[in-house]
Amino acid sequence: MKTVVLVIEDNEQNLYLMHFLLEKHGFTVVESKDGRTGIETAKKVKPQLILLDIQLPVMDGYSVAKELRRNREFDKTPIIAVSSYAMVGDREKAIEVGANDYIEKPIDPDTFIGQIKRHLPSLPKE
């Protein structure tokens, strides 16, 4: 069974790149383009990992992470914030609201999958 990754991202180029890299490495990818829809999609598909943009329409990534963490169903699901925010404290803020990790954009195609697999212990590391 393939690992399902939910990507909550509104930028088409970023979404395309993440989707491409994940599928190339055998993941099943489900997409959402805003925060509220992302939460509803997570409840439906029950992903093994969530990639979460911080700047989203409808509901920002910080609020999405907080809401997901309130749901016991997602208390162990790895959430990785993916953001172009690069200010001091942004990483810490994402971790504080429930993200397990933080990846800065633009993502590095050479290290991206390895960063994801660190949070999926049943998969071989790269």
pLDDT in the model for residue 90: 86
Q: Is residue 123 part of a domain?
A: no
Is the pTM higher than 0.85? The answer reads yes
Q: Which whole-number Å values give the CA distances from 73 to 11, 48, 70, 78, in the listed order?
A: 27, 11, 9, 12
Instruction: Residue 45: give the domain boundaries.
Output: 4-117
pLDDT in tens, 57-111: 999 999 999 999 999 999 999 999 999 866 778 889 999 999 999 999 999 999 9
Closest CA to 79 of 92, 93, 97: 97
Write the CATH number for 103.
3.40.50.2300
Q: At 122, is the pLDDT very low, low, confident or very high (cuts 50, 70, 90)?
A: confident
Contacts for 92 with CB less than 8 Å, ≥ 6 apart: none
